[in-house]
Amino acid sequence: MFKYYFEQVHNVEVWPIISLIIFFVFFVGLIVYVWRMRKDYIEYMEDIPLSDDNTSEFQSQE
């Protein structure tokens, strides 16, 4: 059934290549972003759930 629809689309063979390139570029970019993160920021984010500090900008004001 879908074969008929895909036969009507011009240059349908290029779409899997484009999607693979987008997928590859996204994950390579993500790996580069994580690799270049500052180590002190990562340690700060790791300690947030365990900290006893009650001051948070996200707490509701009562």
Q: How many structural domains is the chain composed of?
A: 1
Domain hosting residue 13, numbered range = 2-47
Contact between 12 and 6 under an 8 Å Cβ cutoff? The reply is yes
7-30: average pLDDT? 90
Residue 62 has pLDDT above 90, yes or no: no
**56 in a structural domain:** no
pLDDT reported for residue 55: 52
Q: Is residue 58 part of a domain?
A: no
Between the two ends of the chain, the Cα-to-Cα distance in Å is: 61
61 domain-assigned: no
Q: Is the residue at 54 inside a domain? A: no
Is residue 36 assigned to a domain?
A: yes
Would 57 be classed as within a structural domain?
Answer: no
Identify the residue with better confidence: 16 or 52. 16
Is residue 52 domain-resident? no
Instruction: State pLDDT tens for residues 19-50.
Output: 999 999 999 999 999 999 999 888 888 888 88
Q: Max CA-CA distance within the chain?
A: 63
- Tell me if 9 is assigned to some domain: yes
| pLDDT at residue number 56 | 52
